[in-house]
Amino acid sequence: MPSPTRIIDAHQHVFWQGRDDAALVADLDEQGIDKALLMTWHIHPSEGDAGYDDAFNPIHAEPGRSNHPGLPLADAVRAARRYRDRFVIGYAPHPLEPNAAKWLDAAVRMYDIRAFGEWKYRLLLNDPRCIELFRFSGQHNLPVILHIDIPYLPNDETGEVEYFPEWYGGTVENLERAMQACPETIFVGHGPGFWREISGDADTAGGMYPKGPVIEGGKLFRIMDDYPQLHADLSATSCVNALQRDTDKGKEFLLKYHRRILFGRDFYGDELHKFLQLLDLPEDVTENIYHKNAEKLFRIES
């Protein structure tokens, strides 16, 4: 596989996982990454413990609040101003906030927001409060980066379907309804609930990260075919797991949709890069995935 001429990390955060913005830039340098999209994640007090409190910036911890407020816009703006040639910004105010659309509009005008993300909320994707923000994003050329975790998962041992309290967005059916309601909006799928759908056994496979061969009939192939506005980012364990469980099917997916796939990490290191290098992808596919698609979506100069 040829080495990419440029790399853009299309899914990243800053001041988290114990590293500040300088440490993130050092990691980008180590991995040969030119730019990254920094995104927010606002956690509502009603959403409980997201399980990441030890990974967030402690400077934003609020006394008396049981959970951390997450990854604020202020940190992304701070990093982007210190390293202007390395970052672009995504912002997704919480849809439960009555002024979310006004805040997003102000952020677009003040901070040159390039994406609506990361959307990671315990609401159904087709909730009217989300739809209004998605429509605003489409009108302002902001791709919507989604984290999806399904609300019900089969138990690993018994196979019995159980409620998963850390769900975000619902199912791919909720995603379809959102895309139907917002045909002018570009959506970028990400997360365990998105990538498990590469296989036809997504409804019965146990665990957040299913193992074993990819079964024909995966909904992910169908919705990518049915909705040209849908893109996918390769970040985090959920994607690498989906592609590694059946490398032939994983490569087939990358080859078929390479004009709508984005390299991204959601963390540090080179796990995804090492895996992609094993697939011997053609040069045009490599260039699209590693940087050209992101340049187009986020209006980054090549």
Residue 46 pLDDT level (bands cut at 50, 70, 90): confident
pLDDT tens-digit readout, 170-192: 999 999 999 999 999 999 999 99
Helix residue spans in the chain (DSSP H): 21-31, 73-82, 100-111, 128-139, 172-181, 192-195, 219-226, 236-244, 247-256, 271-277, 283-287, 293-297
Residue 50 pLDDT level (bands cut at 50, 70, 90): low
Residue 156 pLDDT level (bands cut at 50, 70, 90): confident
For residue 298, the one-letter residue type is F
pLDDT tens-digit readout, 270-279: 999 999 999 9
What's the burial of 240, exposed, middle or buried (CB within 10 Å: 0-12/13-18/19+)?
Answer: buried
pLDDT at position 299:
97
3-class DSSP state for residue 143? coil
* Residues contacting 151, CB < 8 A, separation 6+: 163, 164, 167, 170, 171
- Is residue 49 scored above 80 in pLDDT? no
Residue 296 pLDDT level (bands cut at 50, 70, 90): very high
pLDDT tens-digit readout, 66-108: 889 999 999 999 999 999 999 999 999 999 999 999 999 999 9
Q: Using CA atoms, how far apart are residues 175 and 187, in angstroms rounded to an integer?
A: 9
What does the mean pLDDT of the chain come to?
Answer: 95
pLDDT at position 66:
85
- Is residue 293 scored above 80 in pLDDT? yes
The overall longest dimension of the chain from CA atoms, in Å, is: 54
What's the burial of 293, exposed, middle or buried (CB within 10 Å: 0-12/13-18/19+)?
Answer: buried
pLDDT at position 64:
86
> Measuring CA to CA, which residue among 91, 67, 16 is closest to residue 267?
16
Cis peptide before 160 (omega within 30 of 0): no
Q: How many residues does the chain have?
A: 302
Q: What is the mean pLDDT of residues 152-171?
A: 92
Q: What is the mean pLDDT of residues 258-286?
A: 97
Q: Using CA atoms, how far apart are residues 166 and 196, in angstroms rounded to an integer?
A: 16
For residue 6, the one-letter residue type is R
- Is residue 280 scored above 90 in pLDDT? yes
More confident of the two residues 50 and 106: 106
Residue 201 pLDDT level (bands cut at 50, 70, 90): very high
What share of the chain has pLDDT > 90, as a percent?
89
Q: What is the mean pLDDT of residues 20-47?
A: 96
CA torsion through residues 179, 185, 190, 191, sign: negative
Task: Give all domains of the chain, ordered by start, each with its CATH number.
Answer: 8-297 (3.20.20.140)
Q: What is the mean pLDDT of residues 125-145?
A: 98
- Is residue 2 scored above 90 in pLDDT? no
